[in-house]
Amino acid sequence: MSRFDLHSHSTCSDGLLKPGELVARAAQRGVTTLALTDHDEVSGLVEARAAAEQQGMVLIDGVEISVTWNGHTLHVVGLHIDPENHELAAGLNQVRSGRRRRAEAMAASLEQAGIAGSLEGARARASNPELVSRTHFARFLVERGYARDLQSVFRKYLTGDKPGHVPHQWASLEQAVGWIKVSGGMPVLAHPGRYKLDNAQCGALLTQFKDLGGAGVEVVTGSHTAQQFATWGRHARHYGLLASAGSDFHGPGESYRDLGELPALPNGCVPIWGQF
């Protein structure tokens, strides 16, 4: 039986395992096709591919691009991208360079709330200096005892009007979809149930995403409930989008679902891996 996991992270972004370790864990847990989809970064794919060849597993070259759409932060996964494509690489480089400024502003905001040293703390926890994410700040804050776990850190800090949150402009939806497509990849709207959008906004997003050339939507993802599997399965069918499935695994004990733990797609969904 084939088992697909089309969304995962390594230490090249905010995951806890190196690309090779991630691939080995996926293979051990019965995944037969894994996509490595680091945030705004493709540098882990070479090591992941070598490990996948050793394990006899299929690796899909992927990426997860940060997007600002109508004031909301969204994530668009690209599957089967060409990591060597110059337009994609230039786009990702531009997105990563914004992260440096944001990290400095986040640290200044935490400092005002009485928390010193968070920029150094986050950087020390990021293996990739170009990819300091909120997750690295969150791990620093948990280790220093400011919150119990990652979930509560994001409730108390780093979101909304809480200390450590700074507004940021990521790529546009058009850019992210365009970069993925120009490199030969399939754009997939990541974990749609996490966005705070009303029905009209959801409809507008899916219509625009499809018009721009979006290929699929994550119906099954670690952070969706069983009810959301059904809801997003219906939306995928309604908008003519393929259905994807990915754990969004970041590390042992840190993620909603581990590698290889995903349920099947709801009936009636057309799986994106039919196109691979």
List contacts with ligand AMP (CB under 6 A). Answer: 14, 39, 66, 133-135, 150-151, 154, 250
Name beta bridge partners: 73.
68
DSSP 264: P
Q: Closer to Mn ion at the Cβ: 56 or 167?
A: 167
* Interatomic CA distance for residues 86 and 194, integer angstroms: 31
Using the rule CB under 5 A, is 5 a contact of Mn ion? no
Q: Closer to ligand AMP at the Cβ: 224 or 250?
A: 250
Encoded one letter per residue, x for contact with Mn ion by CB under 5 A and - for no contact, window 197-236 reads: ----------------------------------------
| Residue 170 φ/ψ region, left for φ over 0, alpha for ψ in the -120 to 50 degree band, beta for the rest | beta
CB of 103 to ligand AMP, least distance (A): 8
- Where do the DSSP E strands lie in the chain? 4-5, 33-36, 58-69, 72-79, 186-189, 216-221, 242-246
Residue 150: which of ligand AMP, Mn ion, none does it interact with, CB under 5 to 8 A by kind? ligand AMP
Following DSSP, what letter does each residue of 138-170 receive, concatenated?
Answer: HHHHHHTTSSSSHHHHHHHSSSTTSTT------
- Which residue minimizes CB distance to Mn ion? 75
Q: Closer to ligand AMP at the Cβ: 125 or 134?
A: 134
Q: Residue 246, SS3?
A: strand
Using the rule CB under 5 A, is 14 a contact of Mn ion? yes
Tell me which residues touch Mn ion (CB under 5 A).
14, 64, 75, 190, 248
